[in-house]
Amino acid sequence: MIYNILIHKTLNIIMVKYNWNYPTSMWVGENRINDIAEACKSLGILKPLLVTDKGLAETDIVKKTLSILDKNKLSTKLYSNVVGNPTGTNVNEGVESFKKNNCDGVIAFGGGSGLDVGKAVAFMSGQSLPIWDFEDVGDNWTRANSDKIAPIIAVPTTAGTGSETGRASVILNEQTGVKNIIFHPKFLPSIVILDPILTVGLPPKITAATGMDALAHNLEAYCAPGYHPMADGIALEGMRLINKWLLEAVNNGSNIEARMNMITAASMGSTAFQKGLGAIHSLSHPVNALNNIHHGLSNAIFMPYVLTFNKDVIEEKIIKICDYLELKDKSFDGFINWVLDLRKKLNMPHKLSEVIDEKDLQLDRLSKMALKDPSTGGNPKKLTEADMKIMYQYSMTGKLF
């Protein structure tokens, strides 16, 4: 979140100026993918590049989408080499395809990887500087040529990252092994299509992991410091939807109402975390980059360790969440038990050591990377490298603070 701090000299009161940003045009409902050609034409896109991953490219939902575009005489090209933790190479290849085929817009299609790469391709199609020059640090985004960013339509097929309502992409720099957050206000897609039908085929395991990712976004946004009651309200309602519908979406994937509410909650999480994220994401990004662990899974693992580490500064907020979710035990420990119980019902691991062998855990390197992660600044407590290291250690043993 962008903000400026002013000190009122007369009253000696610290006053803060915040810039709040909210999502874009969103076309919501069952079978809204049928409106994809109309969305393109409304943005003046005649030659879209559809960006997705290899697995999705072979599915009926992508084939149907391409067919709809073709029937409406839109010359569509496909780039589908996107990997699970998307890389700078993915973006460069996508830009090459965009330019080679004289495309004039991007349809970012899929989970977080397809959406992040699609947005980055649209952005980088008009830039001369390397993508890493636009990392979300300071005012790096002002280096971009804003007039050369191609229009973006986002079509999520998972209910987790919420990248469709975000102004950034997370891209792995293969040379450094670091996941960088690339930011620009125009990363925000011009039109988002939220169609629950596109998420029906998600396996239970992926539905669970992406759902926990959405929970982490809403939760960390709510706990982040700063004045943003609009984001707080969205985050609270996002968590309520997840509490009500995640287990149903996992256990009964054909339930359209559950799928609709989960895909909405994911978009709400991304909308809310313009306020900030925190150490759940700071700890996750390095293990995603170095150990290729699914981002939603790592967020789920780190969640209780970060919450208990932050307890002394977030307890009051957590109790408010308990009240809004109508949990029986409206206490900090009651909320932790709710998180632990939810993970158990979703068959998710409690310890990082269940998915990473201790010999493969580069603890010092991970801790340094976690401290430098842009999400760290939004954590309710100021963090040190030693704090990151001990949270990693606790997550390996399963001990809560």
- Ordered domains of the chain (ranges, CATH): 25-199 (3.40.50.1970), 204-397 (1.20.1090.10)
Show the tokens assigned to 209: 């992991």
The closest of 344, 163, 356, 366 to 279, measured between CA atoms, is 366
The closest of 156, 90, 149 to 117, measured between CA atoms, is 90
pLDDT tens digits, the chain, 401 residues: what are they?
444 444 444 444 455 676 676 788 999 999 999 999 999 999 999 999 999 999 999 999 999 999 999 999 999 999 999 998 899 999 999 999 999 999 999 999 999 999 999 999 999 999 999 999 999 888 999 999 999 999 999 999 999 999 999 999 999 999 998 889 999 999 999 999 999 999 999 999 999 999 999 999 999 999 999 999 999 999 999 999 999 999 999 999 999 999 999 999 999 999 999 999 999 999 999 999 999 999 999 999 999 999 999 999 999 999 999 999 999 999 999 999 999 999 999 999 999 999 999 888 999 999 999 999 999 999 999 999 999 999 999 999 999 99
CA distance 396 to 387: 14
